[in-house]
């Protein structure tokens, strides 16, 4: 089965995104803010759509050993937005995606690759056996309370030591009593959305049940340059830009999706200091896959689709005391992923008739505890053990091949010392991995490797924080990390990606220096960061539809990010995020290599969000800007990915208008106002101007 990420990498070079003249790069970004400010005069009041005050909104310093940002969506974000837009707003993050639910969505932190970022839900690791981007693309925002992003390494209470960082999605918590919520919405391209929840509390018991349905025809218009923008033999300045007269308007076909999800959790508090509970999450996705080239329009009929069924189970227990606390987690995930292509050569990758089934399984047990030793010294420890498996079945040949299994144990020891306004923390992590490979010669994995392979990895993270006063602190972090190659990278996908069982784990280090200041109406974060990666795993292209992962070299990334929030009036709130970064090739040593740009990661990225309220009305305008993202002066594979952009700049603007009275919320949104001519996250056809409407009632 061709992996969705594989298909995207293989095809990304066929059509670059549409650019615009250099002299107007910031026009669309600030047009949204200007429009919003001209409309914003009214009585002083808070945004009715914001969440009620929670721990995430208080001025609490981040963990000493990690740079942290908390993203809190409004009710309108949950019903009209998506996870990609929410993450794209934050400084230091870059989102790569090809659409909505069911499509590819990868997140880069500080210029890392998407594979280098761990994904958690309520603190539970969810991307052991599979690509985290597949999980992020299948997420319904109606369940989200907040998103915690840790840049660099994960904190001491999360398993794993990712090179790029961690994304922890926190689902909605219990309201504390009986509660009902339901929402129904519709939008462009045949999209329909419905979701709801019910919860109940009695004495020490709490329960919650949620259901969601999201579907769309997905046949949207886009603008295509017919492959004429790239000239043979690229050069650092890129090929000449095209005008609007060179574009052809086409329809993206066979792009429908239908996503259903059921989730439930039950918790019991026998005492105020203890809690135990269980969670279950079941989802089903049917996603059609369009023709291979973006310039293939409705004249070509394809029949390729992916069906994914996921089951997640979790049991947990928590205890907290005066000077100590602890938790235990046991979770398991099953993902059945089927790929069907009946187009016989005209399908998503053009390899002919296909009917494959992949089964991924994860089992993870985590034990964590923290205790106060003496004075300002606190000690925490984490022990985890995980089992991941992958089995492939060829349903045409009616054959199931031997599986691949990985067993990994991890230990973390974290001393933290607080002396007055100073905080020091060190995280020492050790990982022991054993992998069983059963891929005989002639198997679909195209490798003769079999047997067992052992490896061990160590990482050390140091952090320092100085609190000058309440709401003002300075921090510094530094540490190293590693990443073991995924099943896809080592064993291919039987379609477009060749196996490379000889891949070595990636190694890396990162450091940051930051400051945070906030008052009642203003907050400011500034962060300087530097990362270095060794043995970077790159997807290189051998021919039109055949690729292979290789350890290609080393790179160093330097960057600066700024995050500003201001609410000078109770009826107005402004958020501005800015990221600047550049990369150097250091494969030949620390002093060699000139600066290069990072594939799919622009050197300049900004988002501006303006929220205004008047009585029961709220207007939110969001503008995005991406600078130059052309990484390489040649057609050769780059350090991170297979192909490069030639995007000088891109901009986009979204508008959301809502009206709320008591328990009723009405909202409408117009997204990508300037159409796809000016914005494209991934050099691939994405919907241009589109509309959405939703009605939500709660009690």
Burial of 236 (0-12, 13-18, 19+ CB in 10 A): exposed
Q: What is the pLDDT of residue 29?
A: 38
Reduced to 3 states (helix: H, G, I; strand: E, B; else coil), residue 514 is strand
Q: What is the mean pLDDT of the chain?
A: 77
Short-list 136, 121, 134, 23, CA closest to 88: 136
Short-list 309, 318, 321, CA closest to 278: 318
Query: In sequence order, which residues have a C-beta less than 8 Å from that of residue 246 and are 6 or more positions away?
Result: 225, 228
Give me the residues paired with residue 381 across strands. Answer: 369, 413
The total number of structural domains that make up the chain: 1
Q: What is the pLDDT of residue 475?
A: 92
What are 646-677's pLDDT values in tens digits? 456 778 899 999 999 888 999 999 998 887 66
Query: Mean of the pLDDT values across residues 46-50?
Result: 36
| Residue in the structure block whose two tokens are 């076909």 | 253
Please provide the DSSP assignment of 49-88 as one string: TSPPP-GGGS-PPPPTTSEEEEE---HHHHHH--HHHHHH
Which comes out higher in pLDDT, residue 12 or 698?
Answer: 698
Is the per-residue pLDDT at 645 higher than 50? no
Is the per-residue pLDDT at 48 higher than 50? no
Q: What is the pLDDT of residue 41?
A: 35
Query: In sequence order, which residues have a C-beta less than 8 Å from that of residue 587 and are 6 or more positions away?
Result: 552, 553, 554, 555, 593
Confidence of residue 220 (pLDDT cuts 50, 70, 90): confident
HEC string for 627-639: CCCCCCCCCCCCC
Is the per-residue pLDDT at 250 higher than 80? no
Q: What is the pLDDT of residue 506?
A: 87
361/387 Cα distance (integer angstroms): 8
- The encoded tokens of residue 181 equal 């919520």
Cβ 274 vs Cβ 268: under 8 Å? no
Query: In sequence order, which residues have a C-beta less than 8 Å from that of residue 290 and are 6 or more positions away?
Result: 252, 253, 254, 255, 296, 302, 348
- Segments of 273-376 assigned E as strands: 274-288, 304-320, 324-341, 354-374
In eight-state DSSP terms, residue 504 is P
Which comes out higher in pLDDT, residue 536 or 630?
Answer: 536
Other beta carbons within 10 Å of 633: 16
Query: Mean of the pLDDT values across residues 568-586?
Result: 89
* Backbone CA torsion sign across 531, 534, 537, 543: positive
Is the per-residue pLDDT at 24 higher than 60? no
What are 540-554's pLDDT values in tens digits? 766 555 677 888 778
Cβ 621 vs Cβ 653: under 8 Å? yes
Query: Mean of the pLDDT values across residues 574-591?
Result: 80
Report the percentage of the chain scoring pLDDT > 70.
72
- The overall pTM is greater than 0.75: yes
Rg (Cα) of the chain, in Å, rounded?
A: 25
In eight-state DSSP terms, residue 592 is -
- The encoded tokens of residue 688 equal 């241009």
What are 397-452's pLDDT values in tens digits? 788 777 788 888 889 899 999 888 899 988 888 888 777 766 544 455 544 455 67
| Residue in the structure block whose two tokens are 């429009």 | 35
- The encoded tokens of residue 109 equal 């932190």
- The encoded tokens of residue 27 equal 């026009």
- The encoded tokens of residue 674 equal 């300037």
Query: Mean of the pLDDT values across residues 34-55?
Result: 35
- The encoded tokens of residue 61 equal 């310093």
Residue 38's H or E segment, with its range, is helix 27-39
Domain CATH code at residue 471: 2.40.170.20
Q: What is the pLDDT of residue 398?
A: 83
What are 81-124's pLDDT values in tens digits? 888 888 989 999 988 877 778 888 888 898 888 888 889 999 88
| Residue in the structure block whose two tokens are 């050390």 | 460
Query: Mean of the pLDDT values across residues 517-536?
Result: 90
Least confident of 9-23, 156-170, 487-501, 541-555: 9-23
Q: What is the pLDDT of residue 697?
A: 92
Cβ 129 vs Cβ 388: under 8 Å? yes
What are 460-496's pLDDT values in tens digits? 889 899 998 888 989 999 988 888 888 778 777 666 6
Domain extent for 54 = 4-698
Short-list 144, 149, 189, 182, CA closest to 672: 189
Which comes out higher in pLDDT, residue 134 or 514?
Answer: 514
327/317 Cα distance (integer angstroms): 6
């Amino acid at each position: 089965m061709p992996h969705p990420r594989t298909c995207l990498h293989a095809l990304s070079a066929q059509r670059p995104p549409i650019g615009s003249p250099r002299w107007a790069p910031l026009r669309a970004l600030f047009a949204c803010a200007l429009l919003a400010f001209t409309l914003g005069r009214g009585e002083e009041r808070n945004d009715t759509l914001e969440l009620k005050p929670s721990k995430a909104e208080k001025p609490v310093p981040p963990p000493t050993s990690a740079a942290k940002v908390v993203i809190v969506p409004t009710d309108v974000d949950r019903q009209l937005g998506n996870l990609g837009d929410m993450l794209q707003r934050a400084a230091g993050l870059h989102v790569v995606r090809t659409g909505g639910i069911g499509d590819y969505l990868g997140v880069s932190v500080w210029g890392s690759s998407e594979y280098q970022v761990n994904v958690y839900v309520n603190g539970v690791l969810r991307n052991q056996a599979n690509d985290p981007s597949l999980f992020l693309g299948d997420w319904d925002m109606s369940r989200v309370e907040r998103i915690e992003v840790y840049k660099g390494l994960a904190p001491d209470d999360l398993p794993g030591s990712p090179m790029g960082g961690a994304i922890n999605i926190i689902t909605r918590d219990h309201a504390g009593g009986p509660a009902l919520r339901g929402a129904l919405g519709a939008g462009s391209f045949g999209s329909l959305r419905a979701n709801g929840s019910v919860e109940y509390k009695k004495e020490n018991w709490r329960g919650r049940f949620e259901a969601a349905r999201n579907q769309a025809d997905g046949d949207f218009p886009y603008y295509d340059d017919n492959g004429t923008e790239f000239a043979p033999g690229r050069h650092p300045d890129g090929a000449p830009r095209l005008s609007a007269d060179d574009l052809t308007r086409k329809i993206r076909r066979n792009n429908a999706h239908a996503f259903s999800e059921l989730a439930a959790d039950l918790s019991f508090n026998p005492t105020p200091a203890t809690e135990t509970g269980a969670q279950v999450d079941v989802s089903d996705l049917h996603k059609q896959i369009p023709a291979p080239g973006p310039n293939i329009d409705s004249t070509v009929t394809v029949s390729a689709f992916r069906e994914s069924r996921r089951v997640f189970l979790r049991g947990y227990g928590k205890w907290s005391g005066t000077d100590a606390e602890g938790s235990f987690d046991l979770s398991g995930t099953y993902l059945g992923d089927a790929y069907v292509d009946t187009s016989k050569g005209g399908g998503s990758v053009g390899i002919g008739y296909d009917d494959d089934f992949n089964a991924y399984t994860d089992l993870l047990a985590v034990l964590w505890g923290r205790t106060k030793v003496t004075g300002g010294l606190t000690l925490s420890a984490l022990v985890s053990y995980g089992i991941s498996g992958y089995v492939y079945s060829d349903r045409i040949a009616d054959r199931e091949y031997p599986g691949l299994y990985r067993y990994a144990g991890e230990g973390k020891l974290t001393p933290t010392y607080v002396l007055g306004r100073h905080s020091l923390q060190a995280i020492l992590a050790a990982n022991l991995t054993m992998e069983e490979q059963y891929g005989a010669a002639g198997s679909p994995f195209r490798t003769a490797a079999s047997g067992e392979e052992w490896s061990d990895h160590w990482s050390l993270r140091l952090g320092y924080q100085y609190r000058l006063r309440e709401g003002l602190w300075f921090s510094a972090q530094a540490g190293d990390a590693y990443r073991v190659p995924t099943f896809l990278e080592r064993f291919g996908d039987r379609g477009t990606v060749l196996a490379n069982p000889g891949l070595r784990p990636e190694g890396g280090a990162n450091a940051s220096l930051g400051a945070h200041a906030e008052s009642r109406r203003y907050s400011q974060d500034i962060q300087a960061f530097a990362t270095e990666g060794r043995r970077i795993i790159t997807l290189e292209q051998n021919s039109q539809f055949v690729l292979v992962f290789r350890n290609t070299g080393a790179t160093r990334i330097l960057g600066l990010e700024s995050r500003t929030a201001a609410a000078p009036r109770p009826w107005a709130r402004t958020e501005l995020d800015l990221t600047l970064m550049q990369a150097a090739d250091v494969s030949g040593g620390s002093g060699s290599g000139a600066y290069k740009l990072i594939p799919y990661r622009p050197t300049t990225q900004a988002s501006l969000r303006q929220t205004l309220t008047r009585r029961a009305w709220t207007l939110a305008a969001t503008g995005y800007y991406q600078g130059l993202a052309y990484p390489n002066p040649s057609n050769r594979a780059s350090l991170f990915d297979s192909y490069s952009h030639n995007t000088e700049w891109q901009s986009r603007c979204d508008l959301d208008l809502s009206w709320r009275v008591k328990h009723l919320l009405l909202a409408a949104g117009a997204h990508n106002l300037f159409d796809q001519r000016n914005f494209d996250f991934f050099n691939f056809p994405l919907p241009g101007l589109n509309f959405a409407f939703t009605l939500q009632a709660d009690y």
